Amino acid sequence: MEVKKLIVKKGEFDLKIVVESFTMDHTKVNAPFVRKCGHINTPKGDVITKYDLRFTQPNVDSMPTSAIHAIEHLLAGYIREELSDIIDISPMGCRTGFYLIKLGDSTEEVIASALINTLKKVLKAKEIPAVNPIQCGNYRDMSLFGAQEYAKEVLEKLEAKYKQNR
């Protein structure tokens, strides 16, 4: 396996396992966007695909934890109404978006369309699901208002970006 070298502030770091998100130049992307960022073929022949659902511009803006946490809870249900075979949707540690992992392979346009429809549902939500100590490990850190503000901003930009396909 090839060893990738990443330049960090204080020198070089040898990375023996290639982490896809570390190979992307975060200074050259224009958020929001949907990007197919990887897939694996299982021994039984299934394909599992990972998508980057980027909401905010890396190193420029990030979502506060209360907003991204609320969006996570809302997306968890609503995106499954739009797409089948979802394995997981999880926030990125940098708080600029989410990773969507699903069984099978869909185009970025299909995923973007599903995300657009999902964000429309987020804007209509009256409450956040599973906001209690039994179903959530940090249930007090949620903001429906914040979630809807980011959803509105991202929705407008995604609709403009993907309008030719709708």
Q: Please state whether 38 falls in left (phi above 0), alpha (psi between -120 and 50) or beta.
A: left
Q: Could you tell me the two tokens for 121?
A: 């549902």
Amino acid at site 57: Q
Cβ 97 vs Cβ 52: under 8 Å: yes
Amino acid at site 64: P
- Would you tell me how many other CB atoms lie within 10 Å of the CB of residue 30? 9
> Does the CA dihedral 16-21-23-25 come out positive or negative?
negative
Q: In 16-133, at which residue ranges do the beta strands (DSSP E only) sit?
A: 33-41, 47-54, 86-91, 97-103
Binding site feature residues: 69, 73, 136
Q: Could you tell me the two tokens for 90?
A: 């999880």
Binding site feature residues for Fe cation: 69, 73, 136
At which residue do the structure tokens 């999880």 appear?
90
